[in-house]
Structure 1
Amino acid sequence: MTRAMIRFFLAAAAVGLAAAPALAETGQGTGDPQPCPENAAQIVFNMHAAVELGTAPSFQKVYETAEIAATRCPGSSDIQGLAALLFVALAGSVPDPDARLQLFGKAYDAALRTDLTFADGTGTVVTGTDGAERKLYLYGPVFSALESTIVPQLAVLATTAGMERVHPIFAEDTPLEACPYTANRGSGAEYEAHALSRASAEPGAVGVVSARLKRLQAACIARSAFFDWALASYFSRAASANEFRPGEARKYARAALEHAAAFSRAAPATRGSDADKNADLLNRIALNLREKFPDLDE
């Protein structure tokens, strides 16, 4: 991160989210949906570039640009991707947990739209800061952010004692009606599974995180075994994190072994990416757990 970016983020942290202006709507109150602004991709790209360079005009302007992009251009994967990255940058600049919940929630929603509209086309041409034309491909950067930042931070907000700002993905206690990620790609579900497998496994977090993984597994049938891998990895970590609570540790170790066994029995098509590497990892996890808990099968 450049010094200019740090200055931007520190300055933005002093600005409350409530100070961000409401989305200016022409024809507000008419009930007519607002059109995607002309040259929207270039406008949002310019703002994202300004944030990266530390030259963004203000927190409010970045928020307004991201909000307009997210709400008025829902059919563009590239614009939704840029909006998601702007919301991530904004969320990282504010300490208030309520503001962070709202901004990371908006980033999550925009990331889903990046995935759902990907089939409609990507590679929008914009002019870079050097004056040369370039094509936008936001899927990779957005889902890297989903895995490394968006989902982990939503998990932190939901499971940190005394904070408990719970996004709907962790609040739901009913089955998902459908997989939130497109079935024909599937990688979106894997990104979230990776993120959740590394989420907090401390007491109080395990139930929340594992419940989300299980709901995704039930809904995302095409990647069901991949979630067995994620659950086995997560419960293995939970067993280690709760060693001072022997009963809980044994319960989590047993759950990890059950999901590892389910992964090994699953049809190859449902195991997702890196199936061989993940199988090797689960074998090592199983050996380690049986060494720690030799009487699990009794």
Structure 2
Amino acid sequence: MKRVLFVLLAALFVQLSFAHNWQGHSKDMQRVFPFEWRGSYAKKKNKDVIAFYREVSNYLDHPNGDMRSVIPHQIKNHPKFGKLTYGRHRVWFHWGFTGNFKQYPPLRLSLDRGIREGKIAAADTTEFWNLMGEIVGKRNRELMDRAAALFGNSFKREQRRALVSVLYAVHILGDYQTKDVVYLAPVGAIVADLKKAIDDLAGKHPENRRMAGVLKKKLDMEARNPSAVLDVMERDFSKFLLSLEGDGTYNYRKMFEKKGYVMKAD
């Protein structure tokens, strides 16, 4: 009995060490974004946004929409690429929403290993990258469309992209809280994604640009520490976003409340 209990506890430890499940990712996103999640009224009004947190995490961790497979079915079922050894699920899509998948080391290493092992011909790598481009483009468009439906079609494309990019970054920063961080984009690249998103969310209004600069400076100060970067986002991103001003879509508080969402208290 003791041996069985030890095995179960060991398995649980491994799972906790090497995974940050969707509940954990959703909680991180709830703490970063300005939508209230506490209380039955807020949960009801913000239920679609809260569901979107899980959807984004599943897009990264379960690309086929189920819990069983982690390799995109377009790759797994491809006659030329299905025999490749890809490693853990973080080989896929954990380069950030705007990251360059062709430069993502885990995916490149998987492809190079396949060439060395004779599982793929070097001449077929261009076809592989082209297929990946189609997969990534389709997934990104789907998330952008969902973001438009949730946050409002009035937002500019770069604003919607920025919101999704921040969600992706928060997911990856959450993965850095586990022991398995080999298959993750470098923290510096994630910080760069966040800074670009912050600029796009701020727009051209002078006061918005000033506030964006303050937040980016805080991120730069912690750029080597993923936990500290996540702490900065949890502490300051909601306040930053809801403090932005200007005409039209850069008044995020007004835009979100117009959609019926409940914001966190200041």
Larger radius of gyration: 1
Considering Cα pairs closer than 8 Å and 6+ residues apart, tell me whether 1 or 2 has the greater RCO: 2
TM over 0.5: no
TM-score normalized by structure 2? 0.30
